Amino acid sequence: MSVAVQADDRVVLKVGSVWQKTSEEIIPLIDTALNEAGLSPHDLDAIVISEGPGSFTALRIGFSTAKGLCFALEKPLVAVGTLDAIAASVAHDVESETIVSLIYSKADEFYVGIASRNTLIYQAFTTDEPSVKKTYLTISELEERLGKGTDAVVVGRVAERWRDVLNEKFHWKDATQFSAQTLLGLGEEKLRRKRFTALETAEPFYIKQFEAKTSERKFFG
């Protein structure tokens, strides 16, 4: 979890420890970032949020915090797709026309975004059509979708145990530079075009809905 504040050309970035501590760290990180930028919350033009997909709990905490600030400060909310932002973070650094962004879900399943590099750089937000086509796939399904010999660049942040597999099957690139700072350019463009997210209905984008499971623990008897 990370927080970034942009004031003119200066960006202050603060990174939390682990996503499981989002609820504990998000407000202190926001305070620290604003203080270092020399701003008060009322100085902000808008608040940009990474809308998912990702951890159900962390996304809920992020949205609750962002919406609370927007309501209290009377500022617009700008939601940016996480897969969109990951793809955009490498769009200027690769030559392949197809960029595939990944977010790990569970087992061998991933949230997947497939985008055209040209669209990401030159046409994002100029139409109502999404710049990244999003789905939910296993590694084998993604390999089949892209086809053998593909020159697509696959980018994301995954656990160490997946890197060898991804390196073997695809042109893999770690999204080590992806953070809240990556959202700023995309968020600023949406802000300029007044593409805000309605506070009353804003919620995380999951792709795959939450699956409740029956506990096997015995609470009585």
User: What is the spatial distance between Cα 81 and Cα 203, in angstroms, rounded to a whole number?
Assistant: 12
Of the candidates 185, 162, 4, the residue with the CA atom closest to the CA atom of residue 80: 185
Number of domains in the chain: 2
Whether 82 shows a pLDDT value over 80: the answer reads: yes
Q: Which two tokens stand for residue 68?
A: 């609370």
CATH number at residue 169: 3.30.420.40
* DSSP symbols for 41-106: GGG-S-EEEE--SS-HHHHHHHHHHHHHHHHHHT--EEEE-HHHHHHHTTTTT---SEEEEEEEEE
- On average, the pLDDT of the chain sits at 89
Residues 24 and 97 grouped into a single domain: no
Span 84-101, pLDDT tens digits? 999 988 988 999 999 999
Q: How confident is the model at residue 3 (pLDDT cuts 50, 70, 90)?
A: very high
Please say whether the beta carbons of 36 and 43 come within 8 A: no
Which of the 8 DSSP states describes residue 149?
Answer: T
Q: Which two tokens stand for residue 51?
A: 């809308």
Of the candidates 89, 93, 73, 163, the residue with the CA atom closest to the CA atom of residue 132: 89
Domain that holds residue 19: 2-81+178-192
CB atoms within 10 A of CB 115: 25
Whether 157 shows a pLDDT value over 90: the answer reads: no
Higher pLDDT, residue 59 or 127: 59
pLDDT at 131: 77
26, part of any domain: yes
User: What is the spatial distance between Cα 215 and Cα 2, in angstroms, rounded to a whole number?
Assistant: 33
Residues 62 and 145 grouped into a single domain: no
200, part of any domain: no
205, part of any domain: no
Residues 59 and 138 grouped into a single domain: no
Q: How confident is the model at residue 41 (pLDDT cuts 50, 70, 90)?
A: very high
Residues 117 and 151 grouped into a single domain: yes
Residues 102 and 165 grouped into a single domain: yes
- Report percent pLDDT > 90 for the chain: 63
Higher pLDDT, residue 176 or 107: 107
Residues 9 and 70 grouped into a single domain: yes
CB atoms within 10 A of CB 123: 12
Please say whether the beta carbons of 185 and 91 come within 8 A: no
Span 118-145, pLDDT tens digits? 888 776 655 555 678 999 999 999 999 9
pLDDT at 148: 81
Residues 33 and 88 grouped into a single domain: no
CB atoms within 10 A of CB 133: 13
pLDDT at 211: 57
66, part of any domain: yes
Residues 91 and 168 grouped into a single domain: yes
pLDDT at 64: 96
pLDDT at 204: 94
Please say whether the beta carbons of 124 and 186 come within 8 A: yes
Residues 99 and 37 grouped into a single domain: no
Length of the chain: 221
Residues 153 and 182 grouped into a single domain: no
158, part of any domain: yes
Instruction: Give the predicted TM-score (pTM) of the model.
Output: 0.86
130, part of any domain: yes
Span 183-213, pLDDT tens digits? 998 899 899 989 999 999 999 998 876 555 5
Please say whether the beta carbons of 187 and 50 come within 8 A: no
